[in-house]
Structure 1
Amino acid sequence: MKDIALKKFCRKPGCSKLTGDKYCEVHKNQDQLYNRERGTASQRGYDGRWRKARARYLASNPLCKKCFEQGKVIAATVVDHITPHRGDMVLFWDEKNWQELCASCHSRKTAKEDGGFGNG
């Protein structure tokens, strides 16, 4: 019997093409181009120095700020840049521009800023 992989919708919002991969052929190429232009995480500043600063910041600010404001006690796992730095290293390292968030709150914030996941 032949293995049949279930096809899923392309992850690009608004695309209704079915694919056996994350993206259809059209959007797979766009995603690869975007990632090449964007650079690696390290090239964007998320290197060993960032990991140390992040760990120190989260140790001092262990609870998600947004959840805490709603009366919930949830661990922060992400140091978010309140104003997206967009490559501005002064803004990137400005701790007044950092906030502690859980992954859910960070994802919601990012999606809202970008107009939806993957729509940067």
Structure 2
Amino acid sequence: MPNAKLVFINGRRQLVPIGTRIRQDSDRQYNQHRAQTKQDYLAFYHSTAWQHTRQAVLLRDNGVCQRCGMPATLVDHIIPSEDDWADRLSEDNLQSLCKDCHYWKTRRETVKRKKGQGRAMRINIIAGYPGSGKTTYVKRHLGQHDLVYDYDALMAALTGLPEHAGNIDANDYVQLIYELMLRKLKAEQTFEQVWIIMTYPDEKLDSLLVSRNLHHIMLSTSRAECIDRLNKNHRKLSQFMKAINKVDELKRDGKYDSFEVVAG
């Protein structure tokens, strides 16, 4: 083949047109560009502080890729350090990944950055009694470019059980999704609105996303009406009374004072 070069693709030698760019070429050019333009950035990854943190994260994750479960080969910033330099040594923002999972994650981030897609994203925290209509409220206001976190819907999707059935063993997995989502939302601007459905206020959420456009909404549906709805839907009221009483306690303590009260 004229004007061809011999390369290794998937461990096999192949002839390809001379102008073909394969991943090794892209990696080499990318690394050369970083060495010329981001010397401070590269110096960090050779620092003692980073090496110690990297080892601690690999140990914490048992050397397993947190996406696919294969052996991990590197430690990745969940929110890229280029987007949140101040958080570069926070173990909460780090995860162990294998080479392939890291490649695809970085590729998605690069595509998003090149598109320059950013929106004036608003994060809505929707609270209220069980049965107050939080999910219905979100569905009525949902847009095309929105993200929704609904604990009950995620639990049902993960377990195959009806919504509100609950599964203590799956709770940790739903919670992991929530925590990962909060970390990504720190640097996210892809969505127009984010809807987080919860019964109680979450101080961790407010603290982590303090720099974002947070909007707290409390549905005005009364305690008596919520109890009536739960009974009409043949829900076991005993499963919800603890949460209902907890909402009453938090309301008395002023924990919902920052919430805008709207009709459910």
**TM-score when scaled to structure 2?**
0.30
Which residue pairs with 2:109 in the alignment?
113
Q: Structure 2 matches for 1:54-65, cutoff 5 A?
A: 54-61=54-61, 62-65=63-66
What residue identity is the alignment partner of 2:51?
R
Matches within 5 A, 1:1-120: 6=5, 8-9=18-19, 11=21, 22=25, 32=32, 35-39=35-39, 42-43=42-43, 45-46=44-45, 47-61=47-61, 62-68=63-69, 74-86=70-82, 88-115=84-111
Q: Partner residue of 2:193?
A: none
* Letter paired with 2:102: H
Separation of aligned partners in 2, 1:40 and 1:10:
32
Which deviations, in whole Å up to 9, do the C-alpha atoms of 1:3-45 show, x marking residues without a partner?
A: x9836325399xxxxxxxx48xxxx7x98555411226642x1
Deviation (angstroms), 1:49: 2.1
Give the match's secondary structure for 1:80: strand
In the alignment, structure 2 segments of 5+ residues that lack a partner are 6-16, 115-264
The 1:111/1:60 distance shift into structure 2, 3 A limit, reads same
Q: How far 1:66 moved relative to its partner?
A: 0.6
AA matched with 2:80: P
Partners of 2:22 and 2:71 in 1: CA distance = 30
Provide closer, same or farther for how the CA distance between residues 86 and 56 of structure 1 changes in structure 2, counting only shifts above 3 A: same
How many aligned residue pairs are there?
Answer: 95
Which structure is larger by alpha-carbon Rg, 1 or 2? 2
SS across alignment from 1:9: coil
Higher strand share: 2
Q: 1:18 — aligned with what?
A: none
**How much is the aligned-residue C-alpha RMSD, in angstroms?**
3.4
Report if aligned partners of 2:75, 2:96 keep a CA contact under 8 Å in 1: yes
1:93 match: secondary structure? coil
1:41-69 Cα offsets, whole Å, 9 max, x none, are 642x112221122112102212111113x
CA offset at residue 89 of structure 1?
3.9
Counterpart amino acid of residue 36 in structure 2: R
Q: Partner of 2:88: helix, strand, or coil?
A: helix
The equivalent of 2:10 in structure 1 is none
| Structure 1 residue 90: Cα displacement | 2.1
Secondary structure class of the residue paired with 2:76: strand
TM superposition score normalised by structure 1: 0.60
Q: Which structure 1 residue ranges, 5 or more long, are not aligned? A: 14-21, 69-73
